[in-house]
Chain A
């Protein structure tokens, strides 16, 4: 440790981060709990209402719909993206020549903004002119207005969500596979193991930590889905594709029910923390077992 005023220098070095963390994360975090216990329209001072917002939440059928849709989006996107990503990562790890090109092409949808992605799919799915319905027409299937039909709006958003998520899962899995020692596979080959056996008995178990990480981050990200939904369907029609964050934004910045929206945000936070805690529990159990 240094003497004199030098002792304070490290605090100056971390000051910008600590300050911004305090103002834009810590204070909002505490404030969200306070707001959730108040009625606040931004016109008057917050009015204390206790747990009223939470009991409203319990009886809000649209919010229930949003939670259900978010859960469906989670189930519908996370596992398929990861499975496809895993398969592709394995194909890519087979020492093929054009590895970099394939990797880039498959990952490309992941770097483009969600708004641009949404625009592309709005065209693909246009009921009259879009390629999807045209192609379906070729094989004799009557297409429909996928995004504006309550029966198909959410599933369609889910398919697009999968499309954008495959690349990331693939990249993470590929990095994991590349860190597995080649000698394991060679030894297995000597014993006459097939490609599938090697995949199942070597790759899959050794990818466990990455799988856990991917599952948790993709899960948390899927809980926050907003951009795609907002641009593609706006949560409609008739709330058929609305999600938790769509509801938060609607309640706060369109209806100015800040307190009520804050209660929804607290719910989302609790959900996120719950998943994170499970990750820690599984992660530390794995480490203890090794």
Chain B
């Protein structure tokens, strides 16, 4: 849309105002994270710290078992990410490119599962996790112990599948020309070689979209770790932050430092892969 100078000026002003409103709490959190402890007792309204204390970040880190939380988050996120990319793309490939009995009904059933909110099925999921046989002190009938609860399995395994990922992969591979498959079959390549040799190398955009989706979902997940884990050594960063708050609530400078620290990976990802991020969010709407 072409605009007059006045209209453009107004648009800029409105956007500036809005961005300021959305970003202000984060900005204030940053300033607060740099304030000295004694500044809070002054009760004076100051945006900027009187003195800058970047050391707050180190102090916040020393006050919690962040290394464990970080390790858990990185471990869970990276395995869930890798595994789901593999399983989703290979299933999407099968649904899109291979004619087999039950293809469409199975696909549609998976798709319907997308509508089930995680919170609705959390209770039976918890009971299933608790009853996985031969894990966590369980016997072969799944009784006696805690199964997969309070372990990486509970946080990772359910994330390895996902109707959304399969759906996206199928849509993506449907656009490929049929001739591609035929040429490969004439060469005597099987499904797996076709997938790994030709489809995977062309899947960059798909992996970016799905990968970002999964990364944000698992890294930021609070609900599942809260329900599935209880020992301190299994906490992810999100749970760790909640624990930290419980222990040091009044020390807002440190609480803000910790909050910003655990958000750094996702903010960095967002700024580096902004285009893919946006595409990933928009992709989630195509099914509408």
Contacts and interface: CB of A to CB of B under 8 A. Distances in A.
A29 B242 contact: no
B190 interface: yes
Contacts of B267: 108, 111-112
Contact of A105 (B22, B90, B106, B226): B22
Given A25-B116, A106-B19, A14 B106 contact: yes
A265 B282 contact: no
B95 A258 contact: no
Interface stretch (B50-58, B125-133, B203-211): B125-133
Contacts of A223: 117
A62 interface: no
A137 B256 CA distance: 23
Interface residues of A, number: 104
Interface in B224-281: 226-227, 238, 241-242, 245, 252, 255-256, 258-260, 262-263, 266-267, 270-271, 274, 277-278, 281
Contacts of B157: 20, 24
Contact of A253 (B45, B227, B241, B245): B227
Contact of B120 (A32, A112, A231): A32
Interface string A270-281: 001100100000
A268 B94 contact: no
Contacts of A206: none
Contact of B282 (A25, A111, A120, A175): A175
Contacts of B284: 217
A105 to B, nearest CB: 4
Contacts of B122: 248-249, 252, 265
A128 B41 CA distance: 10
Contact of B115 (A20, A96, A124, A276): A276
A266 B241 CA distance: 31
A114 B220 CA distance: 7
Contacts of B191: 6, 9-10, 13
B202 interface: no
Contact of A124 (B25, B93, B128): B25
Contacts of A123: 28-29, 32, 252, 255-256
Nearest to A123: B252
Contacts of A261: 123
A113 B124 contact: no
Nearest to A276: B115
A129 B88 CA distance: 48
Point out which of B29, B255, B271 has the most chain A C-beta atoms below 10 A from its C-beta.
B29
Point out which of B26, B124, B128, B242 has the most chain A C-beta atoms below 10 A from its C-beta.
B124
Given A21-B163, A100-B274, A111-B270, A269 B120 contact: yes
B26 A109 contact: yes
Contact of B160 (A20, A131, A213, A231): A20
Contacts of B223: 226-227
Point out which of A84, A131, A214 has the most chain B C-beta atoms below 10 A from its C-beta.
A131
Nearest to B221: A113
B116 A29 contact: yes
A290 to B, nearest CB: 15
A25 B113 contact: yes
Given A17-B166, A167-B22, A116 B121 contact: no
Given A109-B26, A116-B262, A269-B117, 8 more contacts: A21-B110, A23-B128, A87-B14, A94-B11, A103-B278, A106-B19, A231-B242, A261-B123
Closest 9 pairs between A and B when the two form their complex, measured CB to CB: A213-B288, A20-B161, A28-B124, A113-B220, A28-B121, A31-B124, A13-B94, A105-B19, A119-B259
Interface of A: 1, 6-7, 9-11, 13-14, 16-21, 23-29, 31-32, 35, 42, 84, 87-88, 91-96, 100, 102-109, 111-116, 119-124, 126, 128-129, 131, 134-135, 137-138, 163, 166-168, 171-172, 175, 185, 189, 195, 198, 209-210, 212-214, 216-217, 220, 223-224, 226-227, 230-231, 245, 248-249, 252-253, 258, 261-262, 265-266, 268-269, 272-273, 276, 283
Interface of B: 1-3, 7-8, 11-12, 14-15, 18-19, 22-23, 25-26, 28-29, 32, 40, 43, 45, 47, 87-88, 90-91, 93-95, 98-100, 103, 106, 109-110, 113, 115-128, 157-158, 160-163, 166, 190-192, 195, 216, 219-220, 222-223, 226-227, 238, 241-242, 245, 252, 255-256, 258-260, 262-263, 266-267, 270-271, 274, 277-278, 281-282, 284-285, 288
20 contacts: A7-B100, A13-B93, A17-B161, A23-B128, A29-B121, A94-B3, A94-B8, A104-B270, A115-B238, A119-B245, A120-B29, A122-B245, A122-B255, A213-B285, A226-B119, A252-B122, A252-B123, A262-B124, A268-B119, A268-B120
